[in-house]
Amino acid sequence: MNERRTARRAPWGFGILGAGLVADYHRRAIAATPRAELVAVADADTSRHEAMVRDFGVPAVTERELLADPAVAVVSVCTPSGRHAEQAIRAAEAGKHVLVEKPMALSLEDADAMIEACRANGVTLAVCLQRRTEPAVKRVREAVAGGALGRVTLAGAFMPYYRPDAYYAQADWRGTWDGDGGGVLMNQGIHLIDLLVWCLGDPQVVGAGAATLVRGVEVEDTAAATLRFPGGALATVAGTTTAAPGFAHELRFHGSEGSIVMTGDSVTTWHVPRDPESPPPATEARAVEAGAAGDPRKVSYDGHVRLVANLVAALDGEEELIADGWEGRRSLAVVLGVYEAAGIRRR
């Protein structure tokens, strides 16, 4: 059945804009999706084009050429965060659907401009919040949002990550307000903040503190905040990139009738009396490896595979998009709210 459908319809042509570390995740995800095909890759550094042809297996072109290519229907924006908005808007104005890495922008004004540009040009905007696609996360959200924990009173995201000075030295935009838009919360922590928002709604930032304690960068390497969600639940968010050697993050939901804890990608506590027949998905009793908590190259690309598959299905009219521009804006708003409460912001 899938083979017949593929024979009738050409795959969606993808172009990758930006050839850094995360671009390889998009390359792999596109290759793993039957209805997607990588057509071209572009990077501002033309001296890398020969290596890009070898690494990506497609022509290396300029951004202008990529946006003008009729074979490119979808643009994956994998450039530094500070360039996401301008490039996503140009892609939309060229009639391309957009898949943009997190954070989608560095300000709510830019996020709104991206959403409007895609709406005005009749194209789809998707944001790389791939943790939403994890089977265990989807099951946790179903329980939390569905009321299986009773009234949620306390939640939290704890992120003891590690990024050495060498990580920030890889590129001159890393660790800067203009390039990164923030530190541990904007770059690494936005994924777990997104899951809190996805499960509990849009919060008010009650209080926050952030500082650069160890790393020689402009942005924060350590931050903590208290959030109040609709319904009254309080949550703590704490993260750092200085916790050597890096540890698995933890996501918690506690309610009047049950509790769920995720450590890394695994559900390690599933106390849900209202749903006793459903075993906790991907539960592991063993200690969870730190993995990407200490090295971003160890992040699995499975989430990007599911994300690209969801985007293609949405373009085909077969599924709802799991993270559109409005959804991407929600977690961005929380991070910016924490920065404001902590008294730090982009200069």
Residues 172 and 194 in one domain: yes
Q: Are residues 246 and 150 in the same domain?
A: yes
Task: Decide if 236 is inside a domain.
Answer: yes
Q: What's the first-to-final CA gap in the chain, in angstroms?
A: 54
Contact 17, 40 (CB under 8 A): no
> In CATH, what number is assigned to the domain containing residue 39?
3.40.50.720
pLDDT at 345 exceeding the cut of 80:
no
pTM equals 0.93
SS3 210: strand
Same-domain status, 51 and 152: no
Domain final residue pick, 75, 99, 128: 128
* b/e per residue 113-140 (b: at least 16 CB within 10 A): bbbebbeebebbbbbbbbbbbbebbebb
Give the range among 35-39, 45-49, 66-70, 105-109 with minimum mean pLDDT. 45-49
The structure tokens listed for 64 are: 């202008």
DSSP state of 214: S
Residue 286: pLDDT band with limits 50, 70, 90:
very low
Give me the pLDDT at residue 280, please: 61
Last residue of a domain, one of 74, 96, 128: 128
93 and 157 together in one domain: no
Residues 58 and 8 in one domain: yes
Find all residues with CB under 8 Å of 76, minimum gap 6, and list them: 14, 15, 16, 17, 23, 26, 30, 99, 100, 101
Residue 118, pLDDT above cutoff 60: yes
Our separate counts of H helices and E strands in the chain read: 11, 13
Whether 233 shows a pLDDT value over 90: the answer reads: yes
Instruction: Flag whether pLDDT at 331 surpasses 80.
Output: yes
Q: Could you tell me the CA-to-CA distances from 111 to 89, 115, 209 in Å, in that order?
A: 10, 6, 25
Range of the domain at 60: 2-128
Residues 121 and 186 in one domain: no
H helix or E strand, kind and range, residue 138: helix 135-145
The mean per-residue pLDDT over the stretch 89-101 comes to 98
Residue 90 lies in a domain: yes
In a domain, 94, yes or no: yes
Question: What pLDDT does 296 receive?
Answer: 65
6, pLDDT greater than 60: no
Please give the pLDDT value at position 281: 58
pLDDT > 90 fraction of the chain, expressed in percent and rounded = 85
Q: Would you say residue 309 lies in a domain?
A: no
Report the domain count for the chain. Answer: 2
22 with 60, same domain?
yes
